[in-house]
């Protein structure tokens, strides 16, 4: 995957700055923020898998340029 990913979110095209894969967790939602390398990201898309040993692909976008 490239740094800039086009993600279709509710019918509109959004540019994701990062894509990460995590073990499936029902508590992860788009109201949360992700902290990676001292930067905050909003979760703009979650591609979930409910199978055994499942994973989620999260599309992230920079959260107003705020650094932690």
Structural domain of residue 40, as residue ranges? 5-67
Residues 22-60 have pLDDT tens digits of 998 888 888 889 999 888 999 888 888 778 888 888 889
Q: How many CB atoms are located within 10 Å of the residue 52 CB?
A: 6
What pLDDT, on the 0 to 100 scale, is given for residue 65? 57
List residues bridging with 4 in a β-sheet. none
pLDDT, residue 1, reads: 41
Give how many domains the chain has, as a whole number: 1
Q: What is the pTM of this model?
A: 0.71
| pLDDT reported for residue 13 | 59
Q: What is the pLDDT of residue 9?
A: 53
- Write out the two tokens for 2: 């490239």
Structure letter (DSSP) for residue 22? E
pLDDT above 60 (res 68): no
CA–CA distance, 29 with 25 (Å, rounded to integer)? 9
Number of H helices, E strands in the chain: 0, 6
């Amino acid at each position: 995957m490239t740094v800039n990913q086009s993600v279709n979110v509710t019918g509109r095209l959004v540019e994701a700055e990062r894509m990460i894969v995590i073990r499936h967790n029902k508590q992860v939602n788009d109201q949360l923020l992700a902290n990676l390398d001292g930067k905050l990201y909003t979760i703009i898309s979650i591609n979930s898998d409910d199978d055994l040993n499942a994973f989620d692909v999260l599309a992230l976008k920079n959260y107003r340029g705020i650094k932690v």
